[in-house]
Amino acid sequence: MSGGVDSSVATGLLVEQGYDVIGITIKTYKYEDVGGNVGNDSSCCSLDGINDARRIALQLGIPHYTVDFSETFKEQIINYFVDDYLAGNTPNPCVKCNRQIKWAEMLRKANSLGAEYIATGHYAQIMYDQETGRRWIRRSDDPQKDQSYMLWGVRQEHLARTIFPLAGFTKPQSRAEGSRLQLDIASKPESYEICFIPDNDYRRFLRDARPDIDATIGRGDFVLDGKVIGQHEGYPFYTVGQRKGLGIAHSEPLYVLNVLPNQNVIELGTEEQLDARQLVAHSVNMQKYADLREPRRFKVKIRYKDEGAMALCHTDEEGFLHVTFDEPRRAIAPGQSVVMYEDDDVVGGGIIAEHQV
């Protein structure tokens, strides 16, 4: 229970359906450690969110516990986020948090409480094939709220113990259910920013997390076609596909093509040079099918708001996922997730390691 509309309504529906429900709110970070707009009530893990969750649990007549996962979250999510930027990538902490915190750690807590399932307010569905014994995520009926892209990393054994009470709901329907259940959070605004960066300023966060970042990395070269054309503030502060904030005057718009951490160099180029047809991904998790040794065609997304495009996909003997798109895709960013879909079903996904023209 984050204290928001979705998890509160999901809880209310479960209570109404007769489940024996325990409300759990995760404290994912120490507020004094993250800086920025501490206590921001739009953040899913804010102090206000914890208080709202406790109040809703009291209203619904269920026990509520706040669980401090801040040390584990710092080790597995925050440190990964910082280290991945320092490796020249563009991390997606929500995907990693879903797998390692909201499922793996939460199921350990569920076991200690004697709970059989965990439930969340995600907008997605869980499918099951009796013949193969496999479970997978299916897109939400609400395309504006679909969160299937963020759930590709959830493992089979975790899906088997998961309930999504909002499967089949749209956001307006959830708000309406909140009003029907007389939950006073029914009109609460949504949270969008990364929970541990409440001011949404990742550059500020990186500098706070690594106070020596400017001294040890410092300014470097912007390079266009092998020639130095300017100076940047340090490679961790740039991502593939970025156009704004470069401070470079040129005859045509320039974009970040590559981040080269070992050289502290940012390669720039034109929009056309952002296009690539192939990528390789690591940390692969398969959902609908057990493996992908034989190449198959799927619709593939390379970022959350990507509509997806058709591609030929397969995994190699070392477990890496290889994707070749029918048409070039723009700004394939290492560190982001690549997710394969068969119609509305999540086939599996991985973390982009590299892209090739």
Secondary structure letter of residue 273 according to DSSP: G
* Contact between residue 150 and residue 94 where contact means Cβ atoms under 8 Å apart: yes
- Catalogue the active-site residues: 97, 195
With tokens 């325990």, the residue in question is 22
Rounded distance between C-alpha atoms, residue 90 and residue 177, angstroms:
37
Q: What angle do CA 43, 66, 74 make, to 5 degrees?
A: 60
Percent helix, strand, coil in the chain (nearest 5)? Answer: 30, 30, 45
Residues paired with residue 313 on neighbouring β-strands, in sequence order? 296, 323
Long-range pairs for 236-245: beta carbons < 8 A, 24 or more residues apart: 236/85, 236/86, 236/88, 236/206, 236/261, 237/203, 237/206, 238/266, 239/90, 239/333, 240/90, 240/274, 240/331, 240/332, 240/333, 240/334, 241/274, 241/330, 241/331, 241/333
